[in-house]
């Protein structure tokens, strides 16, 4: 994670050009090749095959339909691997920040999983917890400029992937023209926030966000929020109002009596299992990379010979 710690504050990230026939690149893909949220279809696979034929002189050894079906399976595995890897990396960032914020469980212990953080958020409606959790899911990422591009580069470098557009002499990779891998990684983070907010539906129903009130947007539509700066309206109740009053001391006990299943043990168990599966997958990938031929340069250090 050292790359994220030293990420640049620049508004763009210019990559070094990669030779079209570079032996170090094992997978070429276009900036928009992998869908971000929608499920992969055979049409996506057909498009990927045609791009490969057009840019890499690829000639399928099987029928066109069969080639598309094989590409579809390959792309599904790729998307899953991106999401699995991203969840491990993002969870590590979130949990590390939860320790920096001093968030602890009922046993006065620091948290070790995102599931535990979700549980703390669902069982505590105080504005102070809302702000600390907001810092874990938004503030900490504000501090890391272009964090999604940094994670994308780390992922693609480890797997020796590159975008075809990198071959163009005037290619410039910017924060506004992100590749599909970066967008998938950001979508995973958004899903983590959605899961956190849905966990409070059975309790206080408060949500964290980065959306300004509609009245403020109407008055000043072009203004943007200040990075890393928490505002009261970033922690809203069910009515969309800022949560500024700390609940009574017996709030948790009252809610538990109304709904004993406030925090589903099944949900936590599933989250832990999914995280464990992600860790296993990630460790397998690490071992695979360690077995690769040593001395191979990383993608971000390659240049035109």
Domain range list for the chain? 79-285
pTM attached to this predicted model: 0.73
Task: Identify the band that residue 58 occupies on the pLDDT scale cut at 50, 70 and 90.
Answer: low
Separation between Cα atoms, residue 68 and residue 65, nearest integer Å: 5
The vertex-98 CA angle with 94 and 104, nearest 5°, equals 140
Structural contact between residues 18 and 25, judged by C-beta atoms closer than 8 angstroms:
yes
| The token pair that represents 91 in the structure block | 């969870």
Taking the C-alpha atoms of residue 157 and residue 36, their distance in angstroms, rounded to an integer, is 20
Residue 305 has pLDDT above 60, yes or no: no
Query: 86-131: per-residue pLDDT in tens?
Result: 999 999 999 999 999 999 999 999 999 999 999 999 999 999 999 9
Residue 283 has which token pair?
């460790």
């Amino acid at each position: 994670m050292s790359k994220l710690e030293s990420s640049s504050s620049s508004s763009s990230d210019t990559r070094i050009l990669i030779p079209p026939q570079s032996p170090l690149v094992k997978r070429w893909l276009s900036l928009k090749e992998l869908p971000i949220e929608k499920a992969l279809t055979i049409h996506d696979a057909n498009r990927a095959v045609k791009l490969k034929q057009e840019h890499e002189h690829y000639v399928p050894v099987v029928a066109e339909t069969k080639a598309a079906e094989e590409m579809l399976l390959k792309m599904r595995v790729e998307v899953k691997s991106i999401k699995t890897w991203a969840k491990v990396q993002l969870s590590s960032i979130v949990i590390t920040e939860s320790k920096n914020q001093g968030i602890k469980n009922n046993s006065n212990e620091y948290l070790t999983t995102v599931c535990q953080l979700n549980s703390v958020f669902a069982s505590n409606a105080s504005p102070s917890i809302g702000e600390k959790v907001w810092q874990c899911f938004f503030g900490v990422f504000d501090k890391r400029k272009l964090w999604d591009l940094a994670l994308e580069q780390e992922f693609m470098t480890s797997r020796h992937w590159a975008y075809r557009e990198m071959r163009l002499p005037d290619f410039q990779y910017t924060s506004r023209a992100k590749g599909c891998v970066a967008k998938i990684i950001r979508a995973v983070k958004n899903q983590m926030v959605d899961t956190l907010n849905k966990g409070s539906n059975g309790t206080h129903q408060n949500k964290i966000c980065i959306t300004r009130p509609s009245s403020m947007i109407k008055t000043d539509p072009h203004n943007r929020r200040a990075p890393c700066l928490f505002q009261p309206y970033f922690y809203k109740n069910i009515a969309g109002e800022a949560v500024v009053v700390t609940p009574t001391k017996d709030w948790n006990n009252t809610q538990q009596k109304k709904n004993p299943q406030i925090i589903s043990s099944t949900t936590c168990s599933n989250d832990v299992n999914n995280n464990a599966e992600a860790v296993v997958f990630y460790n397998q990938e690490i071992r695979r990379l360690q077995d690769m031929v040593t001395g191979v340069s990383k993608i971000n250090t390659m240049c035109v010979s």
